[in-house]
Amino acid sequence: MASTSGYSHRDPMLKKRDEFEDLLEERRNSSDLRYAFRSYSPVLYKELSPCTASSLKNMVLQSDQLRFVISQVCLETGRAVDDIQEEASAILEEMAHNLQLSTVRFFAFTLCKVFKTLFRSICVNEEGIQRLQQAIQEHPVVLLPSHRSYMDFLLMSYIMYTYDVALPVIAAGMDFMGMKFVGEMLRMSGAFFIRRSFGADKLYWAIFSEYVKTMVKNGFAPVEFFLEGTRSRTSKSLTPKLGLLNIVMDPFFKGEVFDLNLVPVSISYERILEESLYARELLGVPKPKESTSGLIKARKVLSEDYGSIHVYFGEPVSVRSLAQGKIDRSQFNLLPRHIPRRPSEEISNLVNDSAYRLVRAQEENMVLKPWVLLASLLLQSHHQNQATALEELTEQAVWLRDLSRQYGAFLHWPDHVPPSEVVSSSLSLHRGLVTISEGRVQLALEQAEQSGPGEPPRAATPEEELLSQAVTILSCASYRNQALHIFLRPALLASAVHAASSNNKQEVFNSFSFLRNMLSNEFILCPGATVQDFEDACFLLVKTGALQVSQQEVVVTERGHRTLAFLTSVLDPFLQGYQVVCRFLCEEATEDLTEKQFVPAVRKFILKLLLAGQLRYTEVLSSDLQKNSLAALLRLGAVRKIKGECLVLKVTSMFLLQSGAGNSKGQQGDGELIGRHSRRETSDSESRRRSPVTQRPR
Amino acid sequence: MAANGSGGGGSDRQRVAQQRLRIIAGHLRRPADDDSDVRAAECKAPQSESDASAEGKTVPRRRQEIMKWNGWGYNDTRFLFNKKGQTEFTGKRYRLSGMILPGLQDWFENTFGASVHHKSPATTILNSSAVQPPTLNEAFVEELKSTGVPFSHDAEDRVFRANGHCLHEIFPLREGKIGRVPDTVVWPNCHNDVVKIVELACKHNVCLIPFGGGTSVSSALECPPEETRSIVSLDTSQMNRILWIDEKNLTAHVEAGIIGQDLERLLNESGYCTGHEPDSMEFSSLGGWVATRASGMKKNIYGNIEDLVVHLKMVTPQGVIEKSCQGPRMSTGPDIHHFILGSEGTLGVVTEVTMKIRPVPEYQKYGSVVFPDFEQGVACLREVARQRCAPASIRLMDNKQFQFGHALKPQVSSIFTSFLDGLKKFYITKFKGFDPNRLCVATLLFEGDREKVLQHEKQVYDIAAKFGGLAAGEDNGQRGYMLTFVIAYLRDLGLDYYVIAESFETSVPWDRVLDVCRNVKARIVRECKEKGVQFSPLSTCRVTQTYDAGACVYFYFAFNYRGLSDPIHVFEQVEHAAREEILANGGSLSHHHGVGKLRKQWMRDTVSNVGIGMLKSVKDYLDPNNIFGNRNLY
């Protein structure tokens, strides 16, 4: 039971964080060339037996694991061993990095130039770097940066080079390899390439996992990959992919390394380069064609101001301590360790829990700029169809600043500057997204990007107009999303209080648990931590005086209404999105709807409703939200997949969801639904393990 | 044949044959022993206090005459730091005795952050009043008297039989703290004495704890605190005769109380040896080897104790268990010897053992190989095992242990040798590019006839060369083996200066050897840090035995405990964690030390529930009243 549990509250405000140092400052004052040719002598893993990138390949090809799999494939397919071996070395050729310091120096030089024009500063917590140095020396290290931009991986290597830290090798998707020259350059700067999907290809899997493991065991270099699997187009952290994490943790479980340090790294951009690209992608609007004009536009990118980047190297997490008391490593005693087998349940659970923990750690150390708060406020007032006076916006921002700090936000708000200046400078950096007229601020929805200065404005259809507005709104939402992890738990509680039929604590908890479960594909919510999250949310709302929580009741205080109103409207767009997806499935979906058709169909449906003025939130057009809601419904069993295709079953509970979650109190059947779904809570980890990288060959 | 052997006539014939063999054996002995050996068929009469020394046997009834009560080994032998900053090894018993070790003190102070000025000396006098008065079973004592078997309630006698040599046993003794000790010590002189004692113990329900050489490192000798009955320590040390030698079959029939050094020496006099040389062989007994499944350094030639035993006799509460013949191998159901081997005194007392013997080898040669790193060394040992060409002994010390061994180098008398040493060092580190902080050394011992030894030596060095190994001389090899005999004395030296130390072992499949070594050593370091040990510990290992499918690994660990309020508790936690780490990495609970009480918490996981059930059912049949109540194993 929620109220009686003994969780201790860690006041998020008390979390200690390091200071930052600007890395570009020195670059602006001294020679880039000398910097690129400076002596580089990183601290290495103490048990490293030095080897070259090519001898690494040999180690992999001669490994017991690969030899075993090759002989297996040989038996299964009847192909000749030589043949398979050749294929194996071809795969490895395609995959392997070819890390060379000279290339890194070249990049260092070029990036200096680029970074200095694009960004005001690149801030790094030096203490984090020192911790990393220490960790690299002690045990093999895995770097886990957040992924918001193509820049991330070059930026990471750049920082490592600058601080004399061992250069990482980076798992990258094959899509880069399309660009032949760039691909090879990246390869030489430490990237190794993995096919996006290789399904049940045993051989590929074996080579890939052995390659990564060899680098981990040997301590060749820090292995870097993105837990989120791909760039987040929404700035929300993505549900972690477990494949690579499984692979890097495996040598610990098998006793091949004493320990392993996982280092979460949070990279936050004040302005994301791919801002409107992402929005278009989410809306399914085709990118502007690549052309000379495109190139000119790309140059325009270089001339713009993208503010600053903050990179925070988190506390290294020891795999040994994660596993302590949870994993019995002797489970590998009776089978040769090179024979591949499915991870046991306890290992799968641990890897899953660890992945969530690490993504949470990334979130917690993300630096938030004032603009993030402004974006949240502006979006909310946009939906109330009002432009906010600048002073009012400033007042609200200060209020939200204080609130978010109390919730533990890592907010970079310059306290020595008057708030009005902070607000106006933030707005000016993002002038593409906001307009200020007559002292009132609102989202810049009127911009017509297609029309160049020379061309006459052509008449846009209502649909086109809507989509162009949506680009701005989704761009803006991506900034708001950066702060979502701060408000998420309190917001779930606020919405639960709002939706529950009474003040009864158990009912509020049930409602909370339902919402949380429903939205756990949308946000990073650690599996099995419902009670903890509920208690944390209560703690924060009580601490800030918005709620009173007793043994039996949860009551909103007089001064709490403003907070709760803000919090509920944070979640509202998402709830409406889920609702509308349900509506689509119930009203429109045909018997033979495939998964591929789903997004276009639901988009069409939503567009229709939006144009008819039946929906408030334009951001429900986001394909990310639509996919997440489908995943949630699949997980909850409201929708079923048949033979890989998406077949919709109209389950009664979906009607209940529609009537229950959106409207406020007292809906009949609401409680029943909540009850039913909260019991399913435990099974939700399963669906998360479905990614090409995660899926082991059967 | 087997059927014949089981008949009554058969056993008669056997007895006659044995009698004859005994006489032959007697003739083979030197004249002084003639007398005692001829009457060996019967029990020796009660002898005078100094009997042992008179007969050339090492261990007297009163162990205190020659041995320490709260430390290792002989009274006259110990390490000490003298005022000149050098280390001396006192006494005359060892090759190292009387020598000066110039490097040890520096190594000691640097390794542990210890100082010769911070002493933690042991209580010297055993205070009898600190010993609890004995709880006696009067009826048992009365009847025991009538058998004529010598026994004692003397406090010193009892204290000497209350412990093995685990750190947590020795440490309190040094502080003069004495826990539960046996109430009576009894010294049977022969098998029949044991039969009588066990009968009486059953009749009067007293607890018997067999005691051999007292070298246990598994808490096996500790009196269970929950035991309320009178505890009798059955000291087998006076059952120490070789009853006969059979040169046709190359076997010897020996009383189980004989200690290793006496057995070897006596056999050598007849031109034989067993070749069983556990590191503890100076003090450990034949019965103890059987009861713990001991392993000897030269097992590659001679085998471990289970390979050496041909016939066993054990007295249990249900009677005497033994086989009817001495066939070299039998298919007669599960081997009953294997109920006895490793039973750790829980089922009965091993009284007589027929063992294989071999002619003393013509030629012995030590050797050593330096490897650039431990990984290469292990790979070499693995290859040697694969080719089944392991010398009598092959051991691989890690870098730390190599440096430790180096610190034990005696003072060099001539400038020439020290010059040579310097040259060797230069060659290896500078010319060959070995990193002095990574290189490691394998020590070798070859045995056999001269020609074969030299041939064998070449074969092994050739393999070593493939793994970057360089021959590093006989001297280094010999010193490596010396280390094992003096290590326990060294622990006492450490204890004098706030340094506590222990060793433990495991066996592990080849593919796991490096992982176990690395992880266990790292675990020790991490645990020490986490438990508040202020100085970095010494955590080192060596591979001491090779098998077809794996190896035996031996760990030493030690740390300076200044600043800890309860060093023994911290120590036990670290040792416990280290064992957990071993098991998690696929190592065994023990290769040859046994389980005792120290490791019994892991027995169930080690042998499965059913396994425990099988062992217990044997115990229940043989000893339903838990007369052999040392509570080892399960």
SS (H, E, C) B337-403: HHHHCCCCCCCCEEEEEEEECEECCCEEEEEEEEECCHHHHHHHHHHHHHCCCCCCEEEEECHHHHH
| Binary contact (A329, B516; C-beta < 8 A) | no
pLDDT at residue A698 in the model: 34
Could you give the CA distance from residue A517 to residue A674 in angstroms, rounded to a whole number? Answer: 10
The whole-angstrom separation of Cα A454 and Cα A293 is 14
The shares of helix, strand and coil residues in chain A, as percent rounded to the nearest 5, are 55, 10, 35
At residue A126, the pLDDT reads 94
Contact A258 B519 (CB under 8 A): yes
Residue (of B81, B76, B126, B174) closest to B561 by Cα position: B174
DSSP state of A553: B
Structure tokens at B41: 């068929």
B-chain residue closest to A259, CA distance: B519
Contact A255 B523 (CB under 8 A): no
CB contacts, 8 Å: B586 with chain A: 255, 330, 332-333
Chain B CA closest to residue A331 = B584
Residue of B nearest to A328 (CA): B584
Name the minimum distance, in Å, from the CA of A698 to any CA of chain B.
Answer: 27
pLDDT band (50, 70, 90) for residue A301: low
More confident residue, A216 or B412: A216
Of chain A, the percentage scoring pLDDT greater than 70 comes to 85
Coil, strand or helix at A404: helix
Which DSSP category does B590 fall into?
-
Is the CB of A337 less than 8 angstroms away from the CB of B511? yes
pLDDT given at position B405:
86
Query: Nearest CA of chain B to the CA of A129: how many Å?
Result: 23
Segment A312-352, tens digit of pLDDT: 999 999 999 999 999 999 999 999 999 988 999 999 999 99
Who among A255, A333, A337 is closest to B519 (CB)?
A255
Q: Does A463 touch chain B (CB under 8 A)?
A: no
- Which position has the higher pLDDT, A99 or A640? A99
Give the ipTM: 0.87
* pLDDT per residue as tens digits for the range A618-667: 999 999 999 999 999 989 888 887 765 555 555 544 444 444 444 433 33
- B515, A330: Cβ pair inside 8 Å? no
Closest residue to B584, CB basis, from A256, A330, A337 = A330
Provide the pLDDT confidence category of residue A423 given band limits of 50, 70 and 90.
very high
What pLDDT, on the 0 to 100 scale, is given for residue A587?
83
Collect all residues of chain A within an 8 Å Cβ-Cβ radius of residue B373.
49
Residues of A in contact with B584 (CB under 8 A): 255, 328-330
Name residue A247's amino acid. I
* Pairwise CB contact (< 8 Å): B515 & A332: no
CA angle, B151 then B153 then B155, to 5°: 130
Higher pLDDT, A641 or B10: A641
Residues of chain A with C-beta less than 8 angstroms from the C-beta of B515: 255-256
Q: Is the pLDDT of residue A448 over 60?
A: no
Report chain B's terminal Cα–Cα distance, integer Å: 39
Average pLDDT over residues A582-594: 81
Instruction: Specify the pLDDT at position B78.
Output: 94
Q: Which helix (H) or strand (E) holds A191?
A: strand A191-194
- 8 Å CB contact between B241 and B40: yes
Distance from CA of B522 to the nearest CA of A (A): 7
Please give, rounded to a whole number of angstroms, the shortest distance from the CA of B236 to a CA of chain A: 40
Q: What does the alpha-carbon distance between residue A557 and residue A565 come to, in Å, rounded to a whole number? A: 12
**Averaged over A533-543, what is the pLDDT?**
94
Q: What is the DSSP letter of B511?
A: G
Whether residue B74 lies in the annotated active site: no
Specify the higher pLDDT residue, A12 or B377: B377
CA nearest neighbour of B150 among B64, B215, B236 = B236
Give CA separation, A442 vs A380, A479, B342, in Å.
Answer: 10, 15, 85
The token pair that represents B272 in the structure block: 């034989």
Sheet holding B151-152, edge to edge: B151-152, B184-186, B231-235, B207-211
Cα dihedral B424/B429/B435/B441 (nearest 10):
-20
- pLDDT on residue B596: 97
CA distance, residue B530 to nearest chain A CA (Å): 12
Q: Contact B530/B503 with Cβ under 8 angstroms?
A: no
Q: How far apart are CA A563 and CA A261, in angstroms?
A: 39
State the Cα angle at A369 between A368 and A371, rounded to 5°: 125
CB B170 within 8 A of CB B73: no
Residues in chain B within 8 Å Cβ distance of A216: none
Is A259 at the interface with chain B, CB within 8 A? yes
**What local confidence, expressed as pLDDT, does residue A134 receive?**
95
At residue B453, does pLDDT exceed 90?
yes
Are the C-beta atoms of B526 and B533 separated by less than 8 Å?
Answer: no
* pLDDT given at position A462: 87
Q: Do B586 and A49 touch (CB under 8 A)?
A: no
What average pLDDT does the segment B59-64 reach?
92
Query: In this structure, how many other beta carbons lie within 10 angstroms of the beta carbon of residue B430?
Result: 9
The answer to whether A328 faces chain B, any CB pair under 8 Å, is: yes
pLDDT at position A292: 52
Of the candidates B366, B548, B384, the residue with the CA atom closest to the CA atom of residue B464: B384
Given a cut of 80, is residue A388 above it in pLDDT?
yes
Q: Specify whether the backbone of B348 is left (phi greater than 0), alpha (psi in -120 to 50) or beta.
A: left
Angle between helices A81-95 and A53-61 (to 10 degrees): 150
Residue B367 φ/ψ, nearest 5 degrees: -165, 170
Alpha-carbon torsion, ordered B76, B81, B82, B87, to 10 deg = 80
Q: Is A279 exposed, middle or buried (0-12, 13-18, 19+ CB in 10 A)?
A: buried
Cβ contacts of residue A489 below 8 Å, gap of 6+?
A: A533, A536, A537, A540
What backbone phi and psi angles, to 5 degrees, belong to B312? -130, 150
> Do B586 and A333 count as a contact with CB atoms less than 8 A apart?
yes
CA distances from B49 to A102, B54, B62, B197 (A): 83, 10, 8, 21
Could you identify the residue written with the tokens 């052309």? A291
Query: Which residue in the list B74, B489, B498, B554 is annotated as catalytic?
Result: B554
CA B499/CA A175 separation, integer angstroms: 60
- What pLDDT is stored for residue B429 in this prediction? 77
pLDDT at A449: 47
Residue A326 in contact with partner chain B when CB distance is under 8 A:
no
**pLDDT averaged over every residue in chain A:** 85
Contact with chain B for residue A446, Cβ under 8 A = no
Closest to A573 (Cα-Cα) out of A466, A473, A671: A473
Give the residue numbers in B contacting A (CB under 8 Å), as ranges: 373, 375, 511-512, 515-516, 518-519, 522-523, 583-586, 605
- Token look-up 């509020």 returns A508
Q: Are residues A255 and B584, on separate chains, in Cβ contact within 8 Å?
A: yes
Regarding predicted confidence, which is higher, A458 or B158?
Answer: B158
Cross-chain Cβ contact A259/B511 below 8 Å? no
Which residues on B lie below 8 Å from A256 (Cβ)? 515
Distance between CA atoms of residues B302 and B300, nearest Å: 6
Of chain A residues 148-167, which have a CB less than 8 A from chain B? none
From the list B192, B129, B178, B184, the residue with the least C-alpha distance to B152 is B184
Q: How many CB pairs under 8 A join A and B?
A: 27
| Token pair of A543 as six digits | 């601490």
| CB-based contact A329 B584, cutoff 8 Å | yes
Residues in contact with A10: Cβ distance below 8 Å, sequence separation at least 6, in sequence order: none
The candidate with the shortest Cα–Cα distance to A116, out of A24, A33, A196, is A24
Q: In this structure, are residues A48 and A220 in contact, taking their beta carbons and an 8 Å threshold?
A: yes
pLDDT at A680: 34
Rounded to 10°, the helix A560-587/A652-662 angle is 150
| Closest-CA residue of chain A to B508 | A333
- Residues B71 and B494 sit within 8 Å (Cβ to Cβ): no
- Residue A321: closest CA among chain B residues belongs to which residue? B526
Please check whether residue A330 touches B, CB under 8 A.
Answer: yes
| B161: helix, strand or coil | coil
Residue A179 has pLDDT above 80, yes or no: no
| A62 vs B516: CA distance, rounded Å | 23
User: B512, B520, B521, B527: best mutation site toward chain A, by most A Cβ within 10 Å?
Assistant: B512
Structure tokens at A573: 């767009």
The model's confidence at residue A183, banded by pLDDT at 50, 70 and 90, is confident
Beta strands in A294-403 (DSSP E): 308-313, 317-318, 388-389
**Based on the number of CB atoms within 10 Å of its own CB, is A427 exposed (0-12), middle (13-18) or buried (19 or more)?**
buried
Most A CBs within 10 Å, among B526, B527, B580, B606, to test the A interface: B526
The tokens for A117 are 């024009």
The whole-number average pLDDT for the span B151-177 is: 95
Q: Is there a contact between B585 and A337 if contact means CB atoms under 8 Å apart?
A: no
pLDDT at B11: 52
Q: Give how far A341 is from chain B: nearest CA, Å.
A: 18
Q: How far is B167 from chain A (nearest CA, A)?
A: 27
Q: Do B68 and B74 contact (CB within 8 A), yes or no?
A: yes
Q: How far is B543 from chain A (nearest CA, A)?
A: 18
| Angle between the N-to-C axes of helices A462-482 and A484-499, in degrees from 0 to 180, rounded to the nearest 10 | 110
Angle among Cα A636, A641, A647 to the nearest 5 degrees reads 105
Band the pLDDT of B478: cuts 50, 70, 90: confident
pLDDT of residue A49: 78
Instruction: Report the residue of chain B nearest A337, measured CA to CA.
Output: B511
Q: How far is B582 from chain A (nearest CA, A)?
A: 9
pLDDT in tens, A146-163: 999 988 988 999 999 999
B217-253 residue pLDDT tens: 999 999 999 999 999 999 999 999 999 999 999 999 9
- Least confident interval from A218-232, A610-624, B47-61, B140-154: B47-61
Q: CB of A545 within 8 Å of any CB in chain B?
A: no
At how many degrees (to 10) do helices A345-364 and A243-253 cross? 120
pLDDT in tens, B248-291: 999 999 999 999 999 999 999 999 999 999 999 999 999 999 99
Mean pLDDT of A259-282: 92
Among B373, B515, B522, select the one facing A256 at the smallest CB separation: B515
